[in-house]
Amino acid sequence: KRVSMVVNGLGVAEPTNIFYRRCVAPLADDLEEIQAMGMENDINLYIIDSGLWACGGEAEKSEPTMEFFRAQRSLGGTTLVIAHQNSDDNTKKPYGNVMWVNSPRSTIQVIKAQDTPFGTPAEIGLYQRKVNFGIGFQPIGIKATFDVAKNQRWSSEDAVTFGKADVHESPDLAKGLPLNQKILHELNSGRKTVVELTDTIE
């Protein structure tokens, strides 16, 4: 359903090289069958949703976490792991053991603006919190507009379209910006005193 909505919004044909496998066991216990599926279909990108389920529980402990990442690395190719995070508004790390930060080559935090009533575009910010190679990308704002039929669960005509959003202009998304970028954004409109910057940026 989600792929259908995206391709409808993009106006392209539905891809035939996306495969879905419902898993109920930890990745390490299911590894051989997933590897076989990957070889059979020449899969070079795995999306694991979510890391906490694939870990098998106790994500706050090092051994289950390390067992998950050992299994993940044995898949080969590239892996995108979707992780949960704490409910703390100031958190910038995935929920669980420190290895959820140390093991990945790159971590990207996704923040959704909360003040998006139904029927209005949803604004999302992407913030690179860790990168092992090169320089991390600047925060990216995305606006997702859902065109869905009301009073209906799902229709093959439903679509989602994407555009750009300014992370500086959304109070919810601006919270994820580093302090220096908040200051720079405010100074782009002219000189300000320290007191004015403090009041604006809180």
The model's pTM: 0.82
Please name the amino acid found at residue 48: I
- Tell me the pLDDT of the chain (202 aa) as tens digits: 889 999 999 999 999 999 999 999 999 999 999 999 999 999 999 999 989 999 988 888 989 999 999 999 999 889 999 998 877 767 888 888 999 999 999 999 998 888 666 667 899 999 999 999 888 888 999 999 988 876 667 788 889 999 999 888 888 888 888 888 888 888 888 898 888 888 888 7
Q: Is 146 helix (H, G, I), strand (E, B) or coil?
A: strand
The alpha carbon torsion through 62, 98, 107, 160 (nearest 10 deg) reads 70
Instruction: Map tokens 């409808």 to a residue.
Output: 8
* CB distance 37 to 74 below 8 Å: no
126 by DSSP, 3-state: which? strand
Identify any residues that bridge with 114 across adjacent strands, giving them in sequence order: none
CA 31, CA 80: separation in Å to the nearest integer?
A: 16
Other CB atoms within 10 Å distance of the CB of residue 201: 14
Alpha-helical (H) ranges within 42-164 are: 51-55, 62-73, 99-102
Q: How many residues does the chain have?
A: 202
